[in-house]
């Protein structure tokens, strides 16, 4: 599918195909989904819903993981 829909992922613009889900995006980014959490428009999308959660134009997606911290 042709990437035609603009979204933002971790603050950067990205073109993705329409009807993509959160799972599709994570697979494309080659992100280990076990270690990450996803927020769509400032709401956490629980991992069980990644496959069913369709992306919409102008979505703001954050994909985070854990890092060293105090």
Partner 1 sequence: MTVLPADKPLVLGNHTLTSRLIVGTGKYSTLELMQQCLEASGSEVITVAVRRERLLDASGRNILDYIDLKKYTILPNTAGCFNVEDAVRVARLGREILRGLENPGADWVKLEVLADTRTLLPDPVATVEGCRELVADGFQVLCYTSDDPITARRLKQAGATSVMPAGSPIGSGQGILNPNNIRICLEYLKENDPDYPVIVDAGVGTASDVAFAMELGCDGVLLNTAIASAKDPLRMSVAMKSACEAGRHALLAGRIPKKLYATASSPTEGVITRALG
Burial 18-51 (b: 16+ CB within 10 A, else e): eebbbbbbbeeeeeeeeebebebeeeebeeeebe
Restricted to residues 20-59, the positions that interact with partner 1 (CB under 8 A) are 29-32, 34-39, 42, 44, 46-47
Q: Is position 13 an interface residue for partner 1 (rule: CB under 8 A)? A: no
State which of residues 4, 10, 52, 58 lies at the interface with partner 1 (CB under 8 A).
Answer: 10
Q: How far is the CB of 38 from partner 1 (least distance, A)?
A: 8
Scanning the structure block, which residue is given the tokens 């990437």? 3
Q: How far is the CB of 10 from partner 1 (least distance, A)?
A: 5
């Amino acid at each position: 599918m042709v990437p035609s829909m603009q979204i933002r992922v971790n603050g950067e613009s990205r073109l993705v195909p329409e009807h993509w889900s959160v799972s599709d995006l994570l697979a494309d980014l080659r992100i280990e989904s076990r270690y990450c959490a996803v927020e769509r428009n400032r709401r956490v999308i629980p991992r069980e819903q990644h496959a069913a959660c369709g992306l919409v134009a102008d979505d703001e997606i954050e994909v985070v993981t854990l890092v060293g911290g105090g």
